[in-house]
Amino acid sequence: MSLKHYRLWTILVFTILLVVISSPTVNAITPPNQTIQIAQAVEDASELVIQATLDYLLADVTEPTQQPSVTRTTIVETYALATWQWGETGGQTVLELTNENWQVLVSGGGAVDAATLVSFGVPADIAEQLMAQDASGD
């Protein structure tokens, strides 16, 4: 799937999701279970972000005493922000979908802000959306 197709697909999914959420019934008829399919697509993307983040964190570790866990993912278009915990340390990883694979742009302890995201190539509007959605827990 090309980047153009992925973006179009993302727009389509969120448009359908908005329509389904904003009007759950039409003429007293509940729409088919499209929300489950949409939720599954978003969940699949989150799982891929989680796996890419864990792979990155564990790349240079031969025998970890503790396993890291991703506690939250936020995805906007082709960018993602993964929040993780590893023992008493926590941090965030910024990823970009490139050639159908999530690639890590930057990862480290602590939280990132929109300016940091922009400095690593995330468009400013998407950086702001990532920060807003991450802060709200959506």
Buried b / exposed e across 108-134, counting CB within 10 Å, b at 16+? eeeebebebbeeeebeeebbebbbeeb
What is the Cα–Cα distance from 69 to 20, expressed in whole angstroms? 32
Tell me the average pLDDT across 112-128. Answer: 95
Question: Band of the pLDDT at 21, cuts 50, 70, 90?
Answer: very low
CB 101 within 8 A of CB 127: no
Contact (Cβ atoms closer than 8 angstroms) between residue 79 and residue 98: no
Confidence of residue 122 (pLDDT cuts 50, 70, 90): very high
Question: Average pLDDT, stretch 1-30?
Answer: 49
Compute the distance between CA of residue 1 and CA of residue 9 in angstroms, rounded to an integer. 10
CATH classification of the domain holding 54: 3.10.450.630
94: left (phi over 0), alpha (psi -120 to 50) or beta: beta
Residue 9 pLDDT greater than 70, yes or no: no
Residue 42 burial (10 A CB sphere; 0-12, 13-18, 19+)? middle
For 108, the domain range is 3-136
Query: What's the pLDDT at 42?
Result: 53
Section 110-117 average pLDDT? 93
pLDDT-derived band at 18 (thresholds 50, 70, 90) equals very low
Whether 107 and 53 have beta carbons less than 8 Å apart is answered as yes
**66/133 Cα distance (integer angstroms):** 29
Is residue 66's pLDDT more than 50? yes
Reported as a single tens digit per residue, the pLDDT across 97-113 is 999 899 999 999 999 99
Domain count along the chain:
1
